[in-house]
Amino acid sequence: MFQPMSLKNTNSFKWLNYHHLLYFWAVAREGSIVRASEELGVSQPSISLQVKALEGAIGRRLFERTGGRLVLTDAGRVVYGYAADIFALGRELLDAVERQPAGRAVRLAVGITDAIPKALARVLLEPALRLEAPAVRLVCREDKVDRLLMDLAAHRLDMVLSDAPIGAGVHVRGFNHLLGECGVTFFAAPDAAAKLRRGFPKSLDGQALLLPTDNTALRRALDLWFDARRVAPRVEAEFEDSAMMYSFGQAGLGAFPVPSVVAGEVGKQYGVRSIGSTDAVTERFYAITTEQKLQHPGLVAVRETARRRTFK
């Protein structure tokens, strides 16, 4: 029979005996071996031996006696914190499996940042819904990127769709999967578009423009592009929600940029007309996950379709 290697062996892969960890966690939570024994239905000597085995494997004392009571050492407090997270995640795993009846659709929870146009989110996620085996039940949430990343770290989301990769300063372990990139197309209401189309992009100088807020990758790229061409549009409004920006543009309140990959769809949906496009400004779109190698069939479908067809 295969025997796990000792935690003391620092030159080999380390294994953790979760039975030992469970008994330690129960003693720490209940405050005594007696109550842990009653809670787990295991004899007191057995629990004592398991806790000692864990201490031996880790090489640290986890409890000390103070006034007849078991008190966690500094090392014990560290181990207890991790143990609480591990067993909480285990309960969450079991709950998730119980909520997923056999033969039913696989749940795919996706967080969508404010900067992702809704039309593009639909195009990117649609391949997951077209899977037949297994079928996918899609759950979408829109929010600020920092809150979505926290939910991703807590395994409440399977993926975050973003216009920027997860940064080095973000204390969330995640992996960036580039879905693709595209240029930018500018739109306006039909009457304004007919005038602004001539001489684009110089035609935008001094003209009303609707833009994403300056915390987005697209806005920063556009500002640099305008400066390089000595074009100074009049920024009428800034938006975190791209759909709201398109709605204002539809009402004739200014021209606005759209990722070229969904330019045709946005033009039809909002009844606006193209002014011009550029590949000098590019938008990149990422799937951020906790997996370096994607396993969820829905995520694989999203990535592969984006790379083969959407951004070809």
| Mean residue pLDDT across the chain | 87
More confident residue, 167 or 209: 209
The whole-number pLDDT of residue 114 equals 85
Q: Tell me the CA distances in angstroms from 91 to 96, 98, 105, 154, 210, one per residue in order.
A: 9, 11, 21, 13, 47
The whole-number pLDDT of residue 102 equals 56
104-312 topology per CATH: D-Maltodextrin-Binding Protein; domain 2 (3.40.190)
User: Alpha-carbon torsion 231, 237, 241, 243, what sign?
Assistant: negative
Average pLDDT over residues 83-106: 69
pLDDT digits (tens, 9 = 90+) for 119-176: 999 999 999 999 987 889 999 999 988 899 989 988 899 999 999 898 766 777 789 9
The whole-number pLDDT of residue 92 equals 65
Residue type, 221: A
**Rounded CA separation 182/75 (Å):** 51
Residues of the chain with CATH 3.40.190.290: 104-312
Of the spans 13-27, 107-121, 221-235, which averages the highest pLDDT? 221-235
Share of the chain above pLDDT 90, in %: 52
| DSSP states of 210-223 | EEE-TTSHHHHHHH
Give the β-pairing of 208-212 and 234-239: parallel
Partners of 283 in the β-ladder: 182
pLDDT digits (tens, 9 = 90+) for 7-39: 344 444 457 788 888 888 888 888 888 888 888
The whole-number pLDDT of residue 298 equals 92
Residues of the chain with CATH 1.10.10.10: 18-98
pLDDT digits (tens, 9 = 90+) for 252-295: 999 999 999 999 999 999 999 999 999 999 999 999 998 888 88
**Rounded CA separation 7/14 (Å):** 5
**Rounded CA separation 147/272 (Å):** 33
Residue type, 73: T
Q: Which CATH architecture has domain 18-98?
A: Orthogonal Bundle (1.10)
